[in-house]
Amino acid sequence: MPDRVHHQLTVKGRAGSVDLDVSLALTAPWTILFGPSGSGKSSLLRAAAGVLPALDVTFTRSNEALHARPTHLRQLAYAPQQAALFPHLSVRDNITFPLTIRDDRKQHETLAAQAIDLFRLRSLLDARPQELSGGEQRRVALARALTVPHAKLLMLDEPFTGFDRKLRDDLIPALQQWTRERNLPVLSVTHDVDEALLLNAEVIRLHGGCVTAHGPALEVLADERERLLANLQK
């Protein structure tokens, strides 16, 4: 029995140098957009977030037309490729920023505490972004995304870029468990084969703005896996 579709996204039009013609039905707890640079992966996330108005976009959740809503009412948590932290705020205040515009902030402060612990940021809470490494800034941006209250889809663009392998391999199962416990589906972007296989998620493979394959990671990326194994044996 296939999982229920939780989000549907159709995007058509030109984004930068790529012509997008994509229709996605998301059913898995974690879905990966996989492909080379310039294949349209990041543009699909931005289209879902409502920040590419020139495109023809249909985005629905349980038949609700999310594309008709402003970005802040789409119940999305989004961490783009660039950390985009507020330089005048501490790590703590960057992470809790999504709570500052809510009347029920106290009810959601546990989200921030959990995100801080998951991404191992306790020792950095009083630092400013310019005092952090690129990988540390990335962890702060991811923690901030997890702190968005009432999110119904978590969108992550190259979430583990800048992480050393051990930290990445520790964080992936922890983040998967966290999202699973909250029934929060994830749509993430990567061109890293190893990362995609480690997540063992549903993979949508893109090339030139179109879907070329869709299925379990081990099936869709079987050729890439064989190439990795062959390189390891050299």
Instruction: Give domain limits for the chain.
Output: 85-142
Q: Does 31 or 223 have the greater pLDDT score?
A: 31
Q: Percent of the chain, pLDDT > 90? A: 84
* Helix runs in 97-186, H state only: 105-118, 134-146, 165-181
For residue 46, give Cα distances in angstroms to 49, 59, 140, 227: 5, 12, 20, 31
Q: What is the per-residue pLDDT for 1? A: 36
DSSP state of 129: G
Q: Which residues contact 155 (CB under 8 A, 6 or more apart)?
A: 45, 48, 49, 76, 77, 78, 79, 186, 187, 188
Pairing of strands 210-216, 202-207: antiparallel
pLDDT at 95 over 90: yes
Measured CA to CA, the distance from residue 145 to residue 142 in angstroms comes to: 5
The phi and psi torsions of 19 (rounded to 5 degrees) equal -95, 115
Span 161-186, pLDDT tens digits: 889 999 999 999 999 999 999 999 99
3-state secondary structure of 20: strand
Q: Which amino acid is at 22?
A: V
Mean pLDDT across the chain, nearest whole number? 93
Average pLDDT score over residue span 105-124: 90
Q: How many helices (H) and strands (E) does the chain have?
A: 8, 10
Contact (CB, 8 A) for 85 and 94: yes
Q: What is the per-residue pLDDT for 104? A: 64
- Buried b / exposed e along 164-196 (16+ C-beta atoms within 10 A): eeeebeebbeebbebbeeeebbbbbbbbbbbbb
Contact (CB, 8 A) for 62 and 26: no
pLDDT at 41 over 90: yes
Average pLDDT score over residue span 182-201: 94
| Its pTM surpasses 0.85 | yes
For residue 12, give Cα distances in angstroms to 41, 44, 55, 57: 13, 10, 6, 7
Span 127-137, pLDDT tens digits: 999 999 999 99
231: exposed, middle or buried (Cβ count in 10 Å: 0-12, 13-18, 19+): exposed
The phi and psi torsions of 207 (rounded to 5 degrees) equal -155, 125
3-state secondary structure of 140: helix
